[in-house]
Each structure stands twice: as C-alpha cells, then as structure tokens.
Chains A and B, each alone.
Chain A
Amino acid sequence: MSIHELMFYLFSGMILLFSVLTVTSRRILRAATYLLFVLISTAGIYFMLNYQFLAAVQLTLYAGGIVVLIIFSILLTSHITHKFEPIGIKKMVFTIVAVAAGAILTITTVLNYGFNTVVASSQNPDMQLIGGSLLGYGRDGYALPFEVISVLLLAAIFGSIVIAKKEKSK
C-alpha cells in the first residue's frame, strides 16, 4: 500500500466517522467540533489532489470562519450543558431507510459508470494562473461570476446586519 492510498483511506475514514458523529452527537458544541474535523480532513483531500490554493481557502474560510461563526451562535443561543432528546425510533428508522436507499442507488450508479479518466498530471495551478483566470474576461475567465459573488457577499453582509440588529424598544 503506497503512501497516497494510506493518506486517502485515513482522510476518508476521518470524514465519514466525524460526519456521522456530527449528525448524531447529542451535545451541540461537540457536534460543531466534529464538523471542524470533517472540514479539515476535506482540506487534506484537496492537498492530496494537489490543489494547494483550494485547500488553503477551505482551511481559512470553512474551518476558520464558518465554524467559528457557528460556535459563536451556539454560545449565544443554547446552554452548553444541554443535551438533545434522542430522536424517536420510528422517525430514525424511516430516515435511515430513505437515506440508505438513496446512497445505495447513487453508489451503484457511480460504480457502474465507466469514467474516461485521464492520467492525472501532478502539476498544481499556481497563484498566477488562478488570479489571471479569476479576473480574466476572455476564454477560461471567471470575471463575471467573481463580480456576482462580490455583490452577493455585500448583500449578505447588509442583510445579516439588518436582520440581526436589535429593534428599537417602543
């Protein structure tokens, strides 16, 4: 077994284990911590696929930004010692059946489909290429979605400030 395979099995095992713990843990702060581990292992998979920039973005934005935001909101809205009630057995069984059916269907389809995989070159996109493509407006340029995303982020900032603002007491 080569080091690549070993890394892949390690990361995917961590992803699956901690995803299950994220959705089943009965303490909310622990669930958030498990989510952090899932996101970090995903960044490891990106590193393995040789996309360093994407992995760095995943670490800083997801693991550093969103998880901290979620933990802050947990601290603002719930008691740390609070434990969720266990789910009803009927609901759990029905959900597991539905989810397992979907997963089995998708996995059999994926395994039976023949992908034309190209021999993956190990070159990684450098910063110059990424920046040029993000702001390019010719072929292989992403200037329009880049601008749309920036307007969306601005709208999200304004929207969340307005929504979360304290209303004036009458």
Chain B
Amino acid sequence: MLSQIPLSYFLVVSTLMFFIGIYGFLTRKNLITILMAIELILNSVNINFVAFNRYLYPDQLQGHFFSLFIIAVAAAEAAVAIAIIISVYRQYFNIDVERVDTMKY
C-alpha cells in the first residue's frame, strides 16, 4: 500500500525537480526554454501540495484544490508569456534574453 512509501520521498523528488528548474532558469538564454523551466518549478510545487494532502490530511481536500488553481494560473501565465514572446519576436527577430535589452539602460 501507499504507506510503504514515506512522505519524505515525494518531497525529495519534488525538491530535486524544483532545483533542476532553477538551474534551467539561471542558465538558459532562450525565452521559451526559460518558460519551460518555470513550468518545471510550478509542477514540482504541485507534487508537494498533493503529497501533503494525501499524507497529512487525507480526509480534506485543500492541497488538491490548491493544485487545481495552480494549474489554472500556470495555463494563464503560459498563454500571456507566449503572447509576449511572439510580440518580442516580431520586434527583434530573436528571443534571446541577452539581445533584447532596449529597455534595460
């Protein structure tokens, strides 16, 4: 049964996934790959919520609904981010974060 797997195993997996996402966020230069790293981070947080819900409060559903709302927010965020990326591409013809710096200085 499920009780054979301790809760901390899920937390270790989601922690590793979170920090892999941070690594991608810091090293990638293409805007779309940065967006994919953010999706990894959001997904790892979802695993945390669901595991806590199942192991600590199995008769309530708070973590379940938090994950649902996080997924909805992630969908909205991806849509807006991709709209911005396409708009940037129209202006500069590339989406490297290091070359899109007109507003920086």
Known: A42-B43, A54-B50, A125-B61. A23 touches B73 (CB 8 A): no
Give chain A interface residues in 11-25, CB to chain B under 8 Å: 12, 15-16, 19-20, 22-24
Contacts of B83 in A (CB 8 A): 159-161, 163-164
Known: A51-B64, A58-B71. A164 touches B15 (CB 8 A): no
In angstroms, Cα B64 to Cα A75, docked, is 34
Neighbour of B28 across the interface among A23, A96, A115, A145, CB < 8 A: A23
A38 to chain B, nearest CB (A): 7
Q: A45-B47, A96-B23, A120-B1 are in contact. List 8 more A-B contacts (CB 8 A).
A: A22-B40, A49-B51, A49-B54, A61-B71, A78-B32, A118-B58, A122-B2, A142-B65
Q: Is B3 an interface residue (CB 8 A)?
A: yes
Q: Is B102 an interface residue (CB 8 A)?
A: no
Known: A31-B36, A115-B7, A122-B1. A66 touches B65 (CB 8 A): no
Q: Which secondary structure dominates where chain B touches chain A? A: helix
Q: Are B75 and A116 in contact (CB under 8 A)?
A: no
Contacts of B27 in A (CB 8 A): 23, 87, 91-92, 95
A54 to chain B, nearest CB (A): 6
Q: Are A103 and B16 in contact (CB under 8 A)?
A: yes
Q: Are B50 and A19 in contact (CB under 8 A)?
A: no
Contacts of B82 in A (CB 8 A): 69-70, 72-73, 160, 164
Q: Is A80 an interface residue (CB 8 A)?
A: no
Contacts of B76 in A (CB 8 A): 152-153, 155-156
Q: Are A38 and B30 in contact (CB under 8 A)?
A: no
